[in-house]
Structure 1
Amino acid sequence: MSSHDWGAMVLDLMLIALAIALYPLPMMAFILVVSSPGGVWKGLAFILAWLANLVVVIAIVLALTGGEPPSPRSPPGVAALAAKLAIGVWLVAYGVRRYRRLKVRAVRDTTSKPSRMEVGSPWAAAGLAVLLQPWGMVAAGATTVIQADTSHSTTYLALLGFCLLASSGLLAAELYMVFAPEAAQDRLLRMRTWMEGHKDEAIVFVCLLLGMWLTAQSIYELTG
């Protein structure tokens, strides 16, 4: 892998990870999980399941490629780009649909008081993490990991950075609850109230931005 290809892969991974971190729905649910009784342990289970999903996806992709990126013009390389293009188009379409729904909801009262989420056990919290992970964006990450060359140690650092950045908001909230539980619970619940009123705008922004990037880049690489 050339330095240009490696840099492009890392840029894609970091942008996708940032989009995952900014996607509001998992964080909104996580705040309610860590604010419930025994929330620190449930939050830890949520994060571990979240990270496990990312690691498993990466491991599966690397197992299929053998850690060697396919040639861009080979059938696997073209298929990966086509899949990334399809994901990008889907994200754009989803963002446009959410934007149209914003106009319908504009006349409604969107204010709500944060409620408590009764998650019965850490296992339930882990299951919630699996359900709420933005799998479309994770799939976009998988199509990028296909380009990873595991013969270079820096590749592992890039993959680790992807996992940590995608989980950064959850990790920060969990640590806040561990070291300052009372202040954290109050501020996190207030943050969730704010997010509840702006989640649709955030979803539209994240999906459109990432979708247009993936679409444009995939078309460029397929036609270049």
Structure 2
Amino acid sequence: MSIELRRHVSALVSDFAAAYGEVDLVRRRVECGPAERDAVVDSFESFGVVGGAGVLIVRDGAVLLARYERADGWIEPGAGRRPGESYTDCAKRGVRETAGTEAAIEGLAGVQLVYLDDPTDRPPVPNPYVAFRGSIAGGAPVPDADATATETTGSEPNPEADGVRTPGDDPAATGGPSVTPDGTPVALRWAEELPERLAYDQLSELPLGGRGEQHI
């Protein structure tokens, strides 16, 4: 793992702590293939970009969740970062591309340091994911329930924007399902009860009043 990447992660946590007062920080290790680990390091070393972000939007007792091609369960709308893009801008773009609406950022839900661990003896590398709390921006359309993401947005995201591919854009670079928004969005839902399969455990703590399987 490069020294610069470690510094980036440390600075990320410090900056959010300064901005929001405290950070709900979760570290976890995820098994991956060597190509996926290398893609994260190469992306950071070549373009100075790593990680992703999304926005948790709760409205009328329901949370807006999405399914992505390679995400391991339902997750808030989000995206992987692009060069020159802040985590906040990344999160807003992820909502725009996935749900066809604009998000207003209202706070920080948490920061996950997802350490990608391949079968080699190399140390795991962190791929930060930032979840913000937010709402539908004033005057923006509200996504329909139980719509496919491509029907809602009217067009598919452009994973090769700016000529840059992130690790999740290339199926050959991934070693399995991701725990962050990854790949093309395929479904969108306002969930009044949380689905059984969530991309990460912290989503199960949302106060929606129930928990049950949601089917599409």
> Is the pair's TM-score, using the shorter chain for normalization, greater than 0.5?
no
In the superposition, the TM-score normalised over structure 2's length comes to: 0.29
Structure with the higher helix share, 1 or 2? 1
Higher relative contact order (CA 8 A, sep 6+): 1
In the superposition, the TM-score normalised over structure 1's length comes to: 0.28
Larger radius of gyration: 1
Structure with the higher strand share, 1 or 2? 2
